[in-house]
Structure 1
Amino acid sequence: MLRFSQSLTELMTIGNLRVALFNYIVAKQLNEELLVRIEDTEKEKNIDGNEKEILELLNLFSIDYKSVVYQSENFKYHQKLTMQLMSSKKAFVCFCSNEKLEEIKVKCKEKGKPNSYDGFCETLSDETVLNCNAPFTVRIKKPENIIEFTDLLKGNFSFEPSNVDSFIILKHDKTPTYNFSCSVDDMLYDISTVIRDERHIENTVKQIHVRNQLNYTKSIEYIHLSSILNVNSNKKNAENSVKQFIEQGFLPSAIANYLVLLGNETPNEIFTIEEAIEWFDIKKVSKDTVEFDIEKLKLINKKHIADLDEMRLSKILGFADTDIGKLGKLYLDEESTINEIKAKIDLIFSSKVSLKGFEDEFSNLKKCLSYAPFMDDFNELEKYIIENTKLDDKSLSINLRYLLTGTHTGPNLSAIYSLIKNYMGEIVK
């Protein structure tokens, strides 16, 4: 089984979505099930409504999963296994205050060493522990030997015991820390493959250490994906949320297409996730940091819009007319998102009162078209206008384009008219 984990303390980002998509694709290729795990242990930091948004986005991107589980539901197992580690002397109670831990951190920094616990509470006697009423955490003892693991994408990793440290597994409030809960949950749900961002490499070795101490022998395969560098912000893990991209008018199919394409060699530039399942090889994904290019995403989005069924595009734009879908596609030469196209359509149906510099001509044109009979042919319409308004070619083209489209530039007016002629009464209102 594979799992996609998302914390309720952060919104679903482009980086998170890429991880979810890769988990989904690989699960399908391996004919295994996908689990969605909601990390909800930090109640005070959880974002309101985030759980609903996460699941809605997964469904929007057609990422099928077997079930949704919550880390908080496994607290009893986390605590039980903590006691098991303590009883076997593989974990110990730590009474060190935050001030003491900060002092240790400063000393390590002064010596140029990584921050690591000094082991003071590890040597406390059972009697001392029993007689102490101070708040405490529980720490797992650091490993005695080097921990090694192989990443299927990035190769071999090796960590010294000092790099793993005697880290906290149970906090003052008796809730588990991230690494302990993740390692236990992966055991509970029999996870076979973990695909996640490379920022979790140091977490991986700690989680392996936990499972080793719990005598868990099943091997878990790891794949750590290179982070996404947003070229606009120069920050790792593209901080823009997926919801923002959807709200800006990017199609889910286009976003998914781009994220699989990113740092990858694909047989075609434009494809669906279903098609990607047939040829995707996660071991061939780039090992280097990849750059998020919004302009490239726009190009891909434009192509996905072009491939949409006209009626479906029309409904996305708020209509139910294939002609409006065709009209939307006319604007793809200059626009690349649903929002941009919808803005053009909205201008067509907006009220146009006057045109600066052509007030009289515009008024005459609008009055003429208000009483004009239905005309199927654009040339016939132009002829009718000239005969009834005496507008010359320049005045006619400027005023007619503005009246029909709300702009001074755009696709061929004859092509536009053929798609909006049934709406003339509403447009020339």
Structure 2
Amino acid sequence: MSVVTRFAPSPTGYLHIGGARTALYSWLHARQHNGRFVLRIEDTDRERSTDEAVQAILDAMAWLDLEHDGEIYYQTKRFDRYAEVIDQLLAEGKAYYCYSSADEVEAMREAARARGEKPKYDGTWRPMPGKTLPEPPAGVDPVIRFATPLDGVTVIPDLVKGDITIANSELDDLIIARADGTPTYNFCVVVDDMDMGITHVIRGDDHVNNTPRQINILKALVGDDGPLPYYAHVPMILGPDGKRLSKRHGAVGVMRYRDQGFLPSALLNYLVRLGWAHGDQEIFTREEMVAHFDIANVQGGASTFDPEKLLWVNQEHMKAAAPEALIGELAWHLARHGVENVAEDRLTAIAAVQQGRCKTMAEMAEQSLFLFRDVEDYEPKAVKKHIKTATPDLLAQVRDALAALDAWDGEALAAAVKGVAEGNEVGMGKVAQPIRIALTGGPVSPSIDDTLELLGRETTLARLDQAVAAFRELKAGA
């Protein structure tokens, strides 16, 4: 059997963390079995679905690099197919027209509750042997209902929760087409899964109640012995307070995590571990996830989202990455600060210096802005602490020592600065911190030799000249 999985979001908002984990699990299962991963946009809710939401989902999937196979399917482009299958079910007596109003159906359910029974539609318009149906009311457009089996059970073959058995008597005759003719979600899903050859449906466990209804419709189309997909209902993600993850926990669209500086590889690594484990391993490459993931080993209980753990995973991915692998995200974050068109070799050099010092790519970009922006002022606290009467002369000596260098590399730069410190019989801190303030405006930067090398000769010498003049003027007026 060739494995085919699908991710089928509804474009009514951003792609959230729960959806991203479902997409990842589906993608991993397909890749692990050399199968296909289908992307399907379930946009039949025309009032809530928007083009902006569709694009947000596509952007998030592209950023996460969860590439789909083949075309992207849109349910709104398949209405002719749905109508064809509905006509088939009607012709075979497996679906029927229902003229009951919403108020009448609610009254049926209330009556069932009063009798202590399952609240559901009572089958008034369902054709039955020997049953005389009422006369259709004039001017009423009927819905179309699926004739759910009246007895027996439906078994959900669930790879996470184990087989789930539901009595068919507990199920309603589901509406598969509204009065205006538009098909409903549960019906469209079945036709899509059948037509696309989906073998494994991996989705959130909030869909468990839908699954027996969908299985019965599918059996009506392919027969009791026809192919049914396996299901894997993945438990929900909880916030730190034990409640379902929501906006109040900081749960946002996937692309907001990019805004915050997380790497896609780190986010996927964190998500795969929300409910699945491979021994004690915490950090996974994409290749390792594909090699080791097993949907059958996903835990049955809910997982808790931990922002601090995600931050740690991200930092580990940043430290382990080849510098050139970080330059795409670094360039993207720099561009948000107005810094664009930076050469790849310079981005690589920046990433190599900064990747062990930062927890996020947003932080890396912010801490690298000094390389691209002139120093307009100096932090008052840093100046007060580190700029003394002798400092301008020390910086002038550093400037001259650096200007005399033939090679502008870390080893030569470090030796030049050290030589000034030793020549004046002062500790490195008396020289290094003033250099940082002169070059960046503040007391924090990478190592002095890295800072000097990244800035380059011309910029370094110009900023030192500026700082010497500024600090001399400051001390003269003190």
- TM-score, with structure 2 as normaliser: 0.77
Q: How does 1:314-329 map to 2 (within 5 A)?
A: 314=327, 316-318=329-331, 319-320=342-343, 325-328=348-351
Q: Which is worse superposed, 2-11 or 367-376?
A: 367-376
Deviations 1:278-315 (A, max 9, x none): 22221112111111222111112112212333244345
2:397 touches 2:420 (CA, 8 Å); kept in 1? no
- Alignment pair present for 1:235 and 2:235: no
1:228 touches 1:237 (CA, 8 Å); kept in 2? no
Q: How far apart in 2 are the matches of 1:110 and 1:369?
A: 93
2:125 touches 2:133 (CA, 8 Å); kept in 1? no
Shift of 1:58: 2.4
Q: Which is worse superposed, 392-401 or 260-269?
A: 392-401
1:142 touches 1:167 (CA, 8 Å); kept in 2? yes
What SS does the corresponding residue of 2:73 show, helix, strand or coil?
A: strand
> 2:300 is matched with which residue?
287
- Alignment pair present for 1:57 and 2:60: yes
Aligned residue type for 1:10 = G
Q: How far apart in 2 are the matches of 1:128 and 1:362?
A: 99
Q: How far apart in 1 are the matches of 2:301 and 2:220?
A: 33
User: Do the aligned partners of residues 264 and 204 (structure 1) sit closer, same or farther apart at CA in structure 2, a change above 3 Å counting?
Assistant: same
Q: How far apart in 2 are the matches of 1:383 and 1:110?
A: 92
> 2:322 is matched with which residue?
309
Q: How far apart in 2 are the matches of 1:54 and 1:336?
A: 26
1:306 touches 1:329 (CA, 8 Å); kept in 2? no
User: Do the aligned partners of residues 325 and 232 (structure 1) sit closer, same or farther apart at CA in structure 2, a change above 3 Å counting?
Assistant: farther
> 1:335 is matched with which residue?
358
> 1:424 is matched with which residue?
460
Deviations 1:126-165 (A, max 9, x none): 6723x53213211112321221222122111111224321
Q: Which has the larger radius of gyration?
A: 2
Deviations 1:233-258 (A, max 9, x none): 93247842111112211111111122
> 1:88 is matched with which residue?
92
Shift of 1:174: 0.8
Q: How far apart in 1 are the matches of 2:217 and 2:97?
A: 16
> 1:212 is matched with which residue?
219
> 1:8 is matched with which residue?
11
User: Do the aligned partners of residues 114 and 237 (structure 1) sit closer, same or farther apart at CA in structure 2, a change above 3 Å counting?
Assistant: farther
> 1:72 is matched with which residue?
76
Structure 1 residue runs without a partner (length 5+): none
Deviations 1:375-427 (A, max 9, x none): 54246347659999x99987755543333344434654455334434442576
Q: How far apart in 1 are the matches of 2:388 and 2:326?
A: 32
Structure 2 residue runs without a partner (length 5+): 332-341, 406-411, 467-478
- Alignment pair present for 1:275 and 2:288: yes
Aligned residue type for 1:335 = C
User: Do the aligned partners of residues 417 and 104 (structure 1) sit closer, same or farther apart at CA in structure 2, a change above 3 Å counting?
Assistant: farther
> 2:171 is matched with which residue?
164
- Note the aligned Cα RMSD (angstroms): 3.5
- Alignment pair present for 1:263 and 2:298: no
Q: How far apart in 2 are the matches of 1:219 and 1:321?
A: 50
User: Do the aligned partners of residues 215 and 58 (structure 1) sit closer, same or farther apart at CA in structure 2, a change above 3 Å counting?
Assistant: same
- Aligned mate of 1:28, from 8, 28, 31: 31
- TM-score, with structure 1 as normaliser: 0.85
User: Do the aligned partners of residues 96 and 369 (structure 1) sit closer, same or farther apart at CA in structure 2, a change above 3 Å counting?
Assistant: farther
Q: Which is worse superposed, 250-259 or 263-272?
A: 263-272
User: Do the aligned partners of residues 418 and 160 (structure 1) sit closer, same or farther apart at CA in structure 2, a change above 3 Å counting?
Assistant: same
> 2:474 is matched with which residue?
none
Q: Which is worse superposed, 419-428 or 167-176?
A: 419-428
1:355 touches 1:399 (CA, 8 Å); kept in 2? no
Q: How far apart in 2 are the matches of 1:420 and 1:283?
A: 52
Q: How far apart in 1 are the matches of 2:77 and 2:346?
A: 52
Aligned residue type for 2:330 = L
Aligned residue type for 1:424 = T
Q: Which is worse superposed, 283-292 or 131-140?
A: 131-140
1:314 touches 1:322 (CA, 8 Å); kept in 2? no
Q: Which is worse superposed, 271-280 or 197-206?
A: 271-280
> 2:473 is matched with which residue?
none
Q: How far apart in 2 are the matches of 1:68 and 1:314?
A: 29
Q: How far apart in 2 are the matches of 1:205 and 1:425?
A: 73
User: Do the aligned partners of residues 387 and 288 (structure 1) sit closer, same or farther apart at CA in structure 2, a change above 3 Å counting?
Assistant: same
1:349 touches 1:427 (CA, 8 Å); kept in 2? no
Q: How far apart in 1 are the matches of 2:344 and 2:352?
A: 13
What SS does the corresponding residue of 1:214 show, helix, strand or coil?
A: helix
Aligned residue type for 2:239 = N
2:98 touches 2:145 (CA, 8 Å); kept in 1? yes
Shift of 1:183: 0.7
2:153 touches 2:168 (CA, 8 Å); kept in 1? yes
Q: Which is worse superposed, 34-43 or 117-126?
A: 117-126
Aligned residue type for 1:234 = K
- Aligned mate of 2:138, from 129, 132, 135: 132
What SS does the corresponding residue of 1:235 show, helix, strand or coil?
A: coil
Deviations 1:312-353 (A, max 9, x none): 434543343656545445555653110011111114544332
> 1:192 is matched with which residue?
199
Aligned residue type for 2:228 = S
1:25 touches 1:277 (CA, 8 Å); kept in 2? yes
- Alignment pair present for 1:155 and 2:162: yes
Aligned residue type for 2:179 = H
Q: Which is worse superposed, 308-317 or 188-197?
A: 308-317
Q: Which is worse superposed, 101-110 or 44-53?
A: 101-110
Q: How far apart in 2 are the matches of 1:26 and 1:173?
A: 38
- Alignment pair present for 1:116 and 2:120: yes
Q: Identical aligned pairs, as a percentage?
A: 27
Shift of 1:169: 0.8
Aligned residue type for 1:258 = Y
User: Do the aligned partners of residues 291 and 58 (structure 1) sit closer, same or farther apart at CA in structure 2, a change above 3 Å counting?
Assistant: same
Shift of 1:5: 0.9
User: Do the aligned partners of residues 136 and 281 (structure 1) sit closer, same or farther apart at CA in structure 2, a change above 3 Å counting?
Assistant: same
Shift of 1:46: 0.8
Shift of 1:100: 3.4
1:231 touches 1:291 (CA, 8 Å); kept in 2? yes
Aligned pair count reads 427
1:311 touches 1:320 (CA, 8 Å); kept in 2? no
> 2:378 is matched with which residue?
354
Aligned residue type for 2:321 = L
User: Do the aligned partners of residues 314 and 62 (structure 1) sit closer, same or farther apart at CA in structure 2, a change above 3 Å counting?
Assistant: closer
